Every structure is written in structure tokens, then in C-alpha cells.
Amino acid sequence: MSAQINASSAYSPTEIMTVTAARLLTDRDVCFVGIGAPSAACNLARLTHAPGITLIYESGTIATRPNVLPLSIGDGELCETALTTVSVPEMFNYWLQGGRITVGFLGAAQVDCYANLNTTVVGPYDHPKTRLPGGGGAPEIATNCQEVFIILKQSKRGFVPKVDFVTSIGYGRGGNERESLGITTKGPTQVITDLCIMRPDPETKELTVVSLHPGTTREQVAEATGWPVKFAAVLEETPAPSALELDVLRDLQARTKAAHGS
């Protein structure tokens, strides 16, 4: 699917991905937010149906309410609009490892069929084709948040049979491997793309397509996935974005562009 606006539906694949991800969040969530697509989804939720959500960024900002999307975790917008800012050690030791965060919202360069994430290297670690930004706090977010949502555009380049490097563990090699490592949190429960929604199979933990976005076919999803992707027996259709959701998202993106430039 093209990243351009679909004339028949008047929204882009990126927009339905962001809106769909935002809808998964609730007013009661305490959410550890990644930069980029996760930040857009979380702030859209805050500006629409979940005004009471608590957004936390890795730099230690708690209950931040940015007017524009941050460029990085060090963006002054986060600190200036936060209820309070704590040290990074306090953020990780007390808030994250203390089990006080309900949802970790992450992006990645690669994800595999068991929801393991790679943000470290593409290719062999010692001689990579591409060196990525690295894990930051993502490995700890993936293991300590009560559950994890993952958002990224779907292609064979990103949805690979096996990640080149496990930066953040999902379900390892599947089954009960996550639990066998002593990790007690749920792990990734939702993977939201510009084509569909995936969830782990209850037994095998392999990602399974449970909902197709409007106009998307099984064939498109299969062609954009690097493994033989499975589909739920009962396949849902993702509700299209509402006019309000699109208006709020586009306004947020326009403010961000005006603040940061193109």
C-alpha cells in the first residue's frame, strides 16, 4: 500500500496505523512512550478519548502533555509540560522496575514472528550493514512494563523470520520461553501496522493477524511479511478513523512541523 492519501477513504496508511494504536490506550494507563510513531499514537489518545492517561518518557518526565511531538527524549517540550521530572535512575528503578507502568509503547527496525525487536544492527553484529540507534531503555521496557504494544510499518524488510539482533525480547523462540527466563510480565500483546493488527497466539506466541485495515487483503499482508503469516479463524476489520481522530492527529502533526520545520 502506498503511503499517500487514499482518495476513497481520505486517510493514509500511516494515519490509520496511528489511530488504531491510539485506541488501544485507556484513560487509566500509565504508559512508557517511545519516540516517533509510539509518541504520535500516545499523544493522540491523550488528546481524544484518554485525557487522563499518564505519559512517561525515558528522560524522566512524568505526566507530560506536549503541545508538539518531541524530536527525542531530551526535547525540552517534554520537561516543560510534565507534572514533574525525576532522575533516570529513579525512573527505571522505582517506576519501571517497580511495576508501576501498565503499557510500554515501542517501535523497532525489525520484528520477528515471536515479537522480538531489533534496534541495534542490520546484518552481523561485528560487520553490520546498518548500525541502528540501539536499545536505550527498550530492553527494560519490554521486560518490566505490564504489557507492550509495538507499532511499525509492515514490510519484509522490517517483518523478518528472525531478527538480526534481539535488542528487546518478545517471546524468544516461542511457547513459554519468556516465562522460563524469569520474566513475569505479559510481553507484547498487540502489534499495530499500516496494514493490520497482530496478536500472539495464546499457546505458540507466534504473531497472528486478527484484524485487517479497511481495503487491505490477506495477500497484501502476506507479501509484506517475511514469514508465512497466520490469520485468525475469525478475521475482523479495523474500524476506519473518525473525522475527529483525523482532525486531532493532523493538527498535532501540523503543529509539530511548524515547530520543528520539515
Looking at residue 114, its pLDDT comes to 98
Question: Measured in whole angstroms, how far is the alpha carbon of residue 3 from the centre of its chain?
Answer: 18
Burial 43-82 (b: 16+ CB within 10 A, else e): bbbbbbebeebbbbbbbbbbebbbebbbbebebebbbebb
Question: Would 199 be classed as within a structural domain?
Answer: no
Which pLDDT does position 2 carry in this prediction? 38
Number of folded domains that form the chain: 1
Considering 58, 77, 140, 245, which one is annotated as catalytic?
A: 58
pTM here? Answer: 0.93
Give catalytic status of residue 58 as yes or no. yes
224 falls within a domain: no
**Cα Dmax for the chain:** 49
Establish if 203 belongs to a structural domain: no
Q: Is residue 236 part of a domain?
A: no
Residue 117 belongs to some domain of the structure = yes
Cα dihedral 257/57/29/175 (nearest 10): 110
Q: Which residue has the cell 539482533?
A: 165
Range of the structural domain that residue 186 is part of = 13-194+242-260
Collect the ranges in the chain with pLDDT lower than 70. Answer: 1-9, 262
Domain-located, residue 234: no
> What CATH number is associated with residue 36?
3.40.1080.10
- Amino acid 261: pLDDT: 79
Answer yes or no: is 77 within a domain.
Answer: yes
Q: Looking at residue 64, what is its pLDDT?
A: 97
